[in-house]
Amino acid sequence: MLKEQLEEVEQKIQSACERAGRKREEVTLIAVSKTNPVPVLEEAYGLGVRVFGENKVQEFTGKYEALPKDICWHLIGHLQTNKVKYIIDKAALIHSVDSLKLAETIEREAAKKNCVAKILVEVNVAEEESKFGLKVDEVIPFIEKISVFEHIKVCGLMTIAPFVENPEDNRPVFSNLQKLSVDIKEKNIDNINVSILSMGMTNDYEVAIEEGATMVRVGTGIFGARNYAV
């Protein structure tokens, strides 16, 4: 079943790329494996998946230890400052940086481990009360502040779009994040590159790709419905 679902997602990504006149290589599929046990991830690994997304630090580090070392692990969930030290040299990319306090902690912990943390700035484009992330107009001042950090590399922007019945409803959310990335590029801020746009989940990744996503985070579409009880 995993194999078929993975193939279906791959097909849909390819079609969305074609519709948008984009190359398939421009889009990275992140297999969001949260709540799935290690054997399921091993099966996905056997099918060629090398990019996984997790949202909880403890689950992330457990799976990191259990699975092969050629996997790129993405931390996609909200990150508490006191947990940064556990993932700083393990996450290929942290998608959820949304405060100066968190950025300062990442800077400090990365310096200790002598590494440079790659991060995305999380933007609450739709301004939902329940969601983390900066407001659109807070992003440029924030990026200017953290651009001086030597152990942080800003690589792009991330958003979690609202839950909607019709994925078309999220098109403006995705196009606004894309526009924001263009505005940032035009500022030519030192040490800042915003080429990554992490947007789109199972329900709406095709629309996100049409609007410029370079990373889509797909969980349910690959692994099936999550069981939070286990």
Ligand X SMILES: *Cc1c(COP(=O)(O)O)cnc(C)c1O
Q: Per-residue x/- mask for ligand X, residues 187 to 206, rule CB under 6 A? A: --------------xxx---
Q: How far is the CB of 221 from ligand X (least distance, A)?
A: 6
Residue 136 interacts with ligand X (CB under 6 A)? no
Q: How far is CA 161 from CA 38, 131, 193, in A?
A: 28, 9, 22
Asked if 93 contacts 75 with a C-beta cutoff of 8 angstroms, the reply is yes
Q: How far is the CB of 20 from ligand X (least distance, A)?
A: 20
Q: How far is the CB of 224 from ligand X (least distance, A)?
A: 9
Binding residue for ligand X, selected from 13, 16, 17, 34, defined by CB under 6 A: 34
Residue 219 interacts with ligand X (CB under 6 A)? yes
DSSP 8-class letter at 134: B
How long, in residues, is the chain?
A: 230
Q: Can you tell me the distance from the alpha carbon of 93 to that of 217, in angstroms, rounded to the nearest whole number?
A: 13
Q: Can you tell me the distance from the alpha carbon of 61 to that of 103, in angstroms, rounded to the nearest whole number?
A: 20
Q: Can you tell me the distance from the alpha carbon of 27 to that of 72, in angstroms, rounded to the nearest whole number?
A: 15
Binding residue for ligand X, selected from 63, 83, 118, 217, defined by CB under 6 A: 217
Q: Per-residue x/- mask for ligand X, residues 66 to 85, rule CB under 6 A? A: ----------xx--------
